[in-house]
Amino acid sequence: MSDRKPAGQFIDAAIDLLRRVRDEEAETVEAAGTLLADTVQNGGRLFAFGAGHSSLAAQDVVYRAGGLALMNLLAVPGVVGVDVMPATLGSALERVDGLASAVLDSSPLREGDTLVIISLSGRNALPVEMAMNARALGVRVIGVTSVAYATETKSRHTSGTFLKDHCDIVLDSKIAVGDAELTLDTVPAPFAPASTVVTSALLQAVMATAAATLADRGIEPPLLRSGNVDGGHEWNGRVLEQYRDRIFYRR
């Protein structure tokens, strides 16, 4: 056990995880970023979905300064965050069979688009069905999950499969089952989750790859700028207008 205080221990643990994904997921990050670039170049649209706290990483890449303007949030009412009352309802909805179908049927997703699905465990019905049904529509799917859950837990979907089994590309966050990095004799349960830190970093690495790949192809990446820098609003207005038919968070 390190003699560092818990704050330092947690940051060290997060850094170790970030180093692991940097080194072990380099090829899949490159593949995911290239897929996003291909989608943009070919006229497709980009979407991100996450339930519960996984939605934080999805929201982090939507309408974000320095990010791709074409990334849209695929929202499922009741599971986007902890604002629903009671908060436990969101967890319950993730296990409801058929919800993904209803969402996709009323969404703008179509063949040629790419959907990023974020689910730490990847075991609940909602992310599994979301991936299965999206691919059936001709949508490419990037899954961001902890592969460890597929070997250490049981699927909650009737198929017995996990999110990772229905993706074109899988990014493994390396998060241990339970998502708690620290233990202390004086604390009765493991604590200090790192999944949000690592998942957000993975996705931003994918976005960076996509932007650079488009630029390498001679295509200006559709990036947003901060509204808090001079000229930012004007820049964003131009980008949002240019790609208005592929952006859905304005409507």
Cα-Cα-Cα-Cα dihedral sign, residues 113, 149, 178, 12: negative
- Burial (CB < 10 A; 0-12, 13-18, 19+), residue 84, is middle
Dist CA 58 CA 50 (whole Å): 6
Encoded amino acid at 208, one letter: A
Q: Indicate the pTM of the whole model.
A: 0.93
Q: How confident is the model at residue 2 (pLDDT cuts 50, 70, 90)?
A: low
Q: What is the pLDDT of residues 164-197, one digit of tens each?
A: 999 999 999 999 999 999 999 999 999 999 999 9
What does the pLDDT look like over 107-149, one tens digit per residue?
999 999 999 999 999 999 999 999 999 999 999 999 999 999 9
Q: Which residues are within 8 A (CB) of 224 and not within 5 positions of it... i.e. 6 or more apart?
A: 63, 64, 65, 66, 67, 68, 69, 235, 236, 239
3-state secondary structure of 121: coil
The kind and range of the H/E element at 49 are strand 46-50
What burial class does residue 50 get, using C-beta atoms within 10 Å of its C-beta: 0-12 exposed, 13-18 middle, 19+ buried?
buried
